[in-house]
């Protein structure tokens, strides 16, 4: 009689039942990945010179919609965030990078790093960022101008 060998145990593969187009296979983008105020230990993924100061999930969403990528928004908090209650820290964007056959959805975005770099380069060009910078500079200039014309009032020393 021929003896059969026992079946070899296969390692568990969590993505075995998923297609590339399933939402679970899309990449995750947290605002902390491109925040210039964060360190590498706190979750920043790009060089500090490329990153943006305090990006929001809404800004990331706006940039990715303009680029034509398929996205999904989730109300999640990055695990390395210290202040979980801060609404600015909340949000995760999922991005579909590959089609069903595993090819890149867009030639412009072949991998995760290309998407993160694009987001970091585009957020400063948003109208909300440009308008926000101009309005924050104007009050400071008017305050300085008003301080220059004032004289100190007080009693003269005897």
Token reading at 57: 């999930």
Give CA separation, 40 vs 45, 52, 59, in Å.
7, 14, 21
Strand partners, 35: 52
> Mean pLDDT, the chain, as a whole number?
82
Strands in 26-152 per DSSP E: 27-29, 71-77, 90-95
pLDDT at 18: 72
pLDDT at 152 over 70: no
Domain assignment of residue 138, yes or no: no
Token reading at 43: 């979750």
CATH for 43: 3.30.56.30
Domain assignment of residue 139, yes or no: no
Does this model's pTM top 0.85? My answer is no
pLDDT tens digit sequence for 61-103: 999 999 999 999 999 999 998 877 777 788 999 999 988 888 8
Instruction: Pick the closest to residue 101 from 13, 5, 12, 19 (CA basis).
Output: 19
CA distance 119 to 52: 9
Domain assignment of residue 152, yes or no: no
Provide the domain limits for residue 31.
23-132
Domain assignment of residue 68, yes or no: yes
More confident residue, 12 or 18: 18
More confident residue, 150 or 57: 57
pLDDT at 120: 97
| Residue 127: count of CB within 10 angstroms of its CB | 8
Q: Please, which residues have CB within 8 angstroms of residue 57's CB and are 6 or more apart in sequence? A: 31, 73, 90, 91, 92, 93
pLDDT at 143: 47
pLDDT at 40 over 90: yes
More confident residue, 145 or 4: 4
Domain assignment of residue 158, yes or no: no
Domain assignment of residue 148, yes or no: no
Domain assignment of residue 146, yes or no: no
How many domains in the chain? 1
Q: Work out whether strand 71-77 and strand 27-29 pair parallel, antiparallel, or are unpaired.
A: unpaired
Domain assignment of residue 71, yes or no: yes
pLDDT at 22: 76
């Amino acid at each position: 009689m021929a003896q059969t060998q026992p079946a070899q145990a296969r390692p568990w593969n969590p993505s075995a039942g998923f297609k590339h187009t399933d939402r679970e296979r899309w990449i995750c983008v947290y605002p902390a990945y491109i925040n210039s105020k964060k360190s590498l230990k706190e979750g920043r993924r790009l060089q500090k010179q490329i990153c943006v100061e305090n990006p929001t999930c809404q800004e990331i969403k706006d940039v990715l919609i303009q680029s034509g990528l398929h996205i999904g928004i989730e109300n999640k908090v990055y695990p390395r965030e210290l202040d979980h209650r801060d609404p600015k820290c909340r949000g995760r964007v999922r991005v579909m990078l590959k089609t069903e056959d595993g090819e890149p959805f867009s030639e412009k975005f072949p991998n995760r790093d290309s998407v993160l770099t694009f987001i970091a380069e585009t957020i400063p060009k948003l109208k909300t960022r440009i308008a926000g910078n101009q309005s924050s500079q104007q009050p400071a200039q008017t305050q300085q101008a008003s301080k220059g014309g004032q004289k100190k009032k007080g009693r003269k020393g005897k």
